[in-house]
Structure 1
Amino acid sequence: MAKRKVDFENRGFQDRWESQYMFADVKGKAVCLLCGDSVSVMKEYNIRRHYETKHHDKYKHLDTTQRLQKVEELKRSLVSQQAMFTKAKSQSEAAVKASFIVAAEVAKSARPFSEGEFVKNCMIKVCDAVCPEKRQAFLNVSLSRNTVADRVPHLATNLQQQLVRKGNDFIAYSLAVDESTDTSDTAQLSIFIRGVDSSLCVTEELLGLHSMHGTTTGKDIFEEVSRCVDKMGLPWDKLVGLTTDGVPAMCGQKSGLVGRIREKMQEENVTGELTAYHCIIHQESLCGKALKMEHVMSIIKKTVNFIRAKDLKLGILGAEFTWRFADFEAQKSRFELLSNPFTADVESTRSNLQMELIELQCSDTLKAKYESVCAAEFPRFIPNTMPQMRSQAAQTLSMFGSTYLCEQLFSLMKINKTSHRTRLTDEHLHSILRISSFQSLTPDIDELVSKMRHQASGSDQ
């Protein structure tokens, strides 16, 4: 015989059970108003047995009116208790949320985790002066060193999870990769991602920061980058650009990062071509060194006069620029198409774009829109009926011109991991830098508080 399914029997609470057995319906459960117990199955037999076994003798003398008055009194008491528990729960969640907010600010300010206790002491003193009746609420906010140290990785993980969700919508992305050492001589590899979704909105965030305790060869760097890309679930066929600092381990065509990524893309049967750039800021610096004129760089006027007086130097500088920026020159037509598609030469454009480009240039509506917005915003208004143009725009928008974000991250790293804070773990350092360097994402603190509440309720069961 099949086991009966209680959920399918449509058993509902009967109003008469309130006065007859002193039970109430609380969130779909029959709860005794006298002792607070609930019955496992909502049916009259179970409720009657509970009442007759535990409470009948004490309340059998009450008439109907007295029983109704007693039920109303017990229901008001139950509502009051529930309100008290809800308020306590709300205050507890507010205290947890406040601790996350302060932990994020401590991380962004590059201060030690122990600063949370200093912040709390200041909060208490301000509270005593402004709103002393709220003192207990401030005392409930935990900002000990251990609490702040626990909150920071949760905040960083939340940011990473948001980035993973955004990454699922990328139709093109590029990477900027650079490497530097911290105060303990540990090599830190930073990887930034610039992705474009189907709406042609750009997301630029820290993809990963990895401590490299061994060697830093092209193979080592590639393995870390590959692991980071795979961990986020990014498809290799969407990768269109790679910007590095130009050292051999990065830009080597065979054993360097660039060569190994191109080899990886071939293994994945990717038909698109990877565009590799040497950071434009590094290029400019190297061009300046080629002039060998450091003794006059301090004064701009003398520099200009020196160049004008020495035509030979202009030749050297021109040759250096031509060689250094050959990668950008090769992409000139792509950049021109993005900056002003209405003046682009159709015949010099790739064949798969020509028909759509002609249609775009003939549209007065799109031309008016282009004149009303900036060039970087216009691609979002290209209609979906021009998929090749939108794809081309997405690929160009996703490219990094420099590793500036990596350099900026290393500056933050040196501020955080000083000679007085060398015991900072890699996990906490990476979490701090992710929180400090986010561009468009912000930690979803409400989600973190909700998760902690569910974890706490799960552990109580």
Structure 2
Amino acid sequence: MAETKRVKTYHFNREWEEDYFFVNSFSKVVCLICNATVALAKKGNVERHFKTVHGSYEKDFPAKTPSRTLKVQELKAQLLARQSIFTKPSNKCEAATIASYRISHVLAKHKKPFKDGETIKEAFLEAADSLFDEYKNKTKIVQAIKEVQLSRNTITRRYEGLARDVERQLVADINVCECFSLQFDESTDMVDQAQLCVFVRMAFEDMSTKDELLTILSLKGHTRGIDIFNVFMKFVSEQKLSLFKLVSITTDGAPAMTGRTSGFVALCKQSELFPGILSYHCLIHQQALCGKVLNMKDVMDIAMKVVCSLRARSLQRRLFRAHLEEHDAEHVDLLLHTDVRWLSKGKFLARFKMLLPEIKDFLKHSKNLEYYNKLDDHQWLMDLSFLADITGELNELNLELQGKNKDIVSMITSINTFKSKLYLMSTRLQSGNLRNFPHIQAELQRQNKSATHLASSEGYQGHIQAILTEFEKRFKDFSSIQPIASYMCNPFIAGIDVGEIAVKLNAVFDLETFALEDEILMLQNDVCLKARSTSSQSGEHVVFWKDLTKGKYPNLRRCALNLTALFGSTYLCESAFSHMKIIKSKYRSTITDDHLAACLRLATSSYTPDYEKLASSSQSQISH
């Protein structure tokens, strides 16, 4: 066969601009004088055209002179001006589209409806009328604002595009991460539609983590374990989620999630598609349940009856608020209590105790309200003070466990610290030290008694012991993680049993025991790493494990990554449901599941969409 003839490539030479008045514009060689083009960027072609068509320019503007240089620059400016007639409208449309995407993202972050884009535009125009009044180009600025596309339908499409871009970044991160954990929770929206919320925590090779909303799935019928499992597996199949990277699943304590045989977690462990995973009941849920062992119904019943009598009727509430204002009370109203809200009991009792003198005075002078003799009973008042103190401590722990980027190590540390605090509180109460009981101390001072006269201290110690026992019982699931977390935070502590640590690591993360023993021994005798660990500050154990080479310590690095990826609670799901209640409110109850998912993803995501890429993929037109 004959050899294929090689095609020769020609390139434009910048010297031709002054020599022959030709420029390279949009991959074409264009004459600056007559705008003609040549077929190939060859010196012979441009030279022939210049000498035959524009020979007079050689005489009027001699080569290598300033006049020729100025003429070339003048002609180039004229060419750019002619081209800008077509490019400026395109650039203005693209800028308006990018602005539309940016404003839409701000609206989504603040969980605003689609139609609010028109309100933003109207407010922007009103502000521009006075804000840019002294600007010479005010008309252009106002016109640019008017061209931004912010209609309801446009904002809806922008939400969809932004959500797809954020989801694309999430999928890319899941594909490159080393491992991840999931947290599940189910709740109902405004129209009683069950929604399954799934968050993912990804751990990367550099030991960094990222928490993001994986998906929110609608459950059309039943919400049994098998229904949740089927819906999630359908999502896994559609998205091709890499389940082999899954480390753990955290859920609430509902039977549909934690049932031994037909619960969602049990079905996941039975499935061959799932690796050997850990499963945990949300730490915050369990901590809230521990506080329910306090059996002080008599105190709560009286307090609830009093508060409900004051707040149930509009007239009584108005009169009571006026009474508080008249007596310059620190607060102007009472709080309500509900068992569903974890923090309400402590705040409810603290407010009730603080306003008790005003409450008693108001009830005595009110003809339509019943006065309860318990409000003058010294022992009942002491019980109320104790309950306010202990629930206040539980509230502080609950708040400490909440928040984003809370890893399981810090949460277990908070739980163990609180258990030690309970021991200390019991000891102090027995010796008459009321440092942790400010309400009891204030009540004793009001009754002119000392701490030694606290007759019911043994009963209060029993309540504290009951809470402590409940903590010990409920947090047994995390007993296997605690020694591993202790080792990972301080791998060079004296007296480490290498075999025991290796067995525990193997039991939790399913790694080879002998390989772990070798790596632990190697690490124990690594002088450089030991010196680096000693010089590092407290809380930098993640930075330490990041420095370990993957080739030398693969199993220990895997343990550190898995531990970093573990969720300790379903806080993110609970927070997402709060966002959902705002997004799908009674004013937007007909929002579709797809739009709800898009709005929720944008409201909770930490990713920044690629506005320029989204605008380039859209048909950029100014607002009509």
* TM superposition score normalised by structure 1: 0.82
Whole-angstrom CA distance in 2 between matches of 1:379 and 1:114: 49
How far residue 396 of structure 1 moved from its aligned partner, in angstroms, is 0.7
Q: Secondary structure at the match of 2:148?
A: coil
Q: Which residue of 2 aligns with 1:409?
A: 576
Q: Tell me the residue number matched to 1:82.
A: 83
**Which position in structure 2 is the counterpart of 1:283?**
286
Checking the alignment, whether the CA contact within 8 Å between 2:104 and 2:155 is kept in structure 1 is: yes
Q: Residue in 2 aligned with 1:228?
A: 235
Q: 1:24 to 1:366 in 2, by over 3 A?
A: closer
In 2, Cα distance between equivalents of 1:293 and 1:239: 43
Aligned to 2:500: 348
Does 2:100 match 1:93? no
The amino acid that maps onto 2:546 is R
Instruction: Return the letter of the residue paired with 1:246.
Output: G
Amino acid paired to 2:119: F
C-alpha change, 1:160 and 1:289, in structure 2 (3 Å) is same
Instruction: Give the Å deviation of 1:437.
Output: 0.8
Alignment correspondent of 2:168: 161
- The 1-side partners of 2:458 and 2:156 are apart by 58
* Distance change (3 Å), C-alpha of 1:253 and 1:21: same
Structure 2 residue corresponding to 1:256, chosen from 263, 271, 274:
263
CA distance in 2, matches of 1:238, 1:159: 21
CA distances 1:57-94 after superposition (whole Å, capped 9, x unpaired) = xx799786579999987644222223454444443332
What RMSD in Å do the two structures reach over aligned CA positions? 3.7
Tell me whether 347-356 or 147-156 shows the greater mean CA deviation.
347-356
In 2, the alpha carbon distance for the partners of 1:20 and 1:317 equals 92
Contact 2:386 2:460 in 1 (8 A): no
CA–CA separation in structure 2 for the residues paired with 1:244 and 1:64: 83
Aligned to 2:487, which of 337, 340, 353?
337
User: What whole-Å deviation, never above 9, does each CA across 1:201-226 have from its counterpart, x for those lacking one?
Assistant: 11111011112222222122112323
| 1:241 matched residue in structure 2 | 248
The residue type equivalent to 2:498 in the other structure is V
Kindly provide the amino acid, as one letter, of the partner of residue 425 in structure 1: T
SS in 1 for 2:591: coil
2:109–2:602 CA contact under 8 A, matched in 1: yes
User: What are the within-5 Å matches in structure 2 for residues 300-449 of structure 1?
Assistant: 301-303=385-387, 304=390, 308-310=458-460, 313-314=463-464, 316-343=466-493, 345-350=497-502, 351=513, 352-362=515-525, 363=527, 364-371=530-537, 373-384=539-550, 385-439=552-606, 441-449=607-615
Q: How big is the shift at 1:160?
A: 1.0
Whole-Å Cα distance in 1 between the matches of residues 291 and 172 of structure 2? 42
Q: Which runs of 5+ in 2 are unaligned?
A: 63-67, 301-344, 351-383, 391-428, 430-455, 503-512
Partner AA of 1:450 in structure 2: S
- Pick from 199, 202, 207 the counterpart of residue 209 of structure 2: 202
Q: Is the 8 A contact 1:19 1:64 kept in 2?
A: no
- What's the offset of the Cα at 1:327? 1.0
Bigger shift: residues 124-133 or 396-405: 124-133
Query: How many residues matched?
Result: 443
Please state whether the residue corresponding to 1:168 is helix, strand or coil.
Answer: helix
Give the alignment of 1:16-31 within 5 angstroms: 25-31=24-30
Aligned partner of residue 107 in structure 2, secondary structure: helix
1:141 to 148, 166, 173: 148
Task: Indicate if the aligned counterparts of 1:167 and 1:232 stay in contact, CA closer than 8 A.
Answer: no
1:19/1:67 Cα in 2 relative to 1: closer, same or farther (>3 Å)?
farther
The question of whether the paired residues in 1 share the 8 Å contact of 2:207 and 2:542 is answered with no
Moved more, 67-76 or 341-350: 67-76
State the identity as a percent. Answer: 34
The answer to whether the 8 A contact 1:192-1:205 is kept is yes
2:123 corresponds in structure 1 to 122
For the Cα contact (< 8 Å) 1:191–1:225, is it kept in 2? no
- Stretches of structure 1 that go unaligned for 5 or more consecutive residues are none
The structure-2 alpha-carbon separation of the partners of 1:369 and 1:66, relative to structure 1 and needing over 3 Å to count, comes to same
1:406-430 Cα offsets, whole Å, 9 max, x none, are 0000001101111111122222211
d(CA) in 2 for partners of 1:400, 1:206: 13
Q: Which residue of 1 aligns with 2:226?
A: 219
1:120-168 deviation digits (Å, cap 9, x = unpaired): 1222233232335222222222222222111111111111111111111
* Maintained 8 Å contact 2:175/2:242: no
Structure 1: distance between partners of 2:43 and 2:549:
65
